[in-house]
Each structure stands twice: as structure tokens, then as C-alpha cells.
């Protein structure tokens, strides 16, 4: 069994940020945790972007568990907006396309600290 891989995609940024791309060529299962902290108002909109060549990026759809709304289903999203001090875990399916790189972008409205951590295998 391969050891888990952890990458910090966004490291406690406090403004709208285009994340730095990381290589994920050897990672098959991807989970990302988005976190918003130091909230007084506004929101943080997180998105994941993938690349086949490490240069050109497109927005990825990911699955999000709706357990917070008492649902056992997964919902497909292209972004997650957090409006309080909270975290959300999202999942990329086993890749159909061989992605070379991934990055996380965040759009801030008003305030907050934004973090994204990738857990992979």
C-alpha cells in the first residue's frame, strides 16, 4: 500500500489567490480539505483546477458529501463557498484523464483566512 501524500495547496492566505500548481502524476485518489477561518463577514469561494500538461488549467468538478444537510448523497460542484469558520472535504474521482498538475484558487469576499490541503494516495 502506498503511503498517503499531503500537499498544502493554499497556506493560510488572506486575499483572493491563484494557487501554485503541484505535480500529481503519481496520485490516483485525491481528497482536498478547504478551510475558512478568522471570519467576521463575507465568504471564500474555493475551486480546483487541473492540467494535462502543467501549463493549461481547467476547472474540475468534484464530489462533496452533503452530510451537513442530513443527506447521504454526493453532490458535484466546481466550487465551494464557505461563509463561516468551517471546513469542507471534497473528493476527486479516480482520474479518467492522466492529470499532471492541480492547483486551488480562492476568491475572497470581505475577509478571512483560507487554507486548502490535498490528501492523496
The pLDDT tens digits of the residues spanning 27-74 come to 888 899 999 999 999 999 999 999 999 999 999 988 876 555 555 666
Which pTM value belongs to this model? 0.88
91: left (phi over 0), alpha (psi -120 to 50) or beta: beta
Residue 94 DSSP symbol: S
How does DSSP classify residue 70? Answer: T
1-38 confidence digits (pLDDT tens): 567 889 999 999 999 999 999 999 888 888 999 999 99
Domain housing 22: 5-120
Cell of 95: 482520474
Q: Read off the CATH number of the domain in which 46 is found.
A: 2.60.120.380
What is the domain count for the chain?
Answer: 1
**Neighbouring C-alpha atoms within 13 Å toward the C-beta of 13:** 23
Amino acid at each position: 500500500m502506498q503511503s498517503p501524500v499531503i500537499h498544502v495547496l493554499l497556506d493560510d492566505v488572506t486575499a483572493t489567490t491563484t494557487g501554485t500548481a503541484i505535480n500529481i502524476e503519481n496520485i490516483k485518489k485525491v481528497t482536498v480539505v478547504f478551510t475558512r477561518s478568522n471570519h467576521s463577514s463575507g465568504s471564500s469561494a474555493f475551486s480546483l483546477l487541473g492540467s494535462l500538461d502543467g501549463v493549461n488549467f481547467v476547472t474540475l468538478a468534484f464530489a462533496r458529501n452533503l452530510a451537513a444537510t442530513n443527506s447521504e448523497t454526493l453532490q458535484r460542484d466546481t466550487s465551494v463557498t464557505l461563509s463561516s469558520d468551517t471546513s469542507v472535504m471534497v473528493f476527486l474521482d479516480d482520474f479518467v484523464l492522466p492529470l499532471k498538475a492541480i492547483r486551488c484558487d480562492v476568491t475572497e469576499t470581505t475577509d478571512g483566512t483560507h487554507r486548502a490541503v490535498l490528501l492523496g494516495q
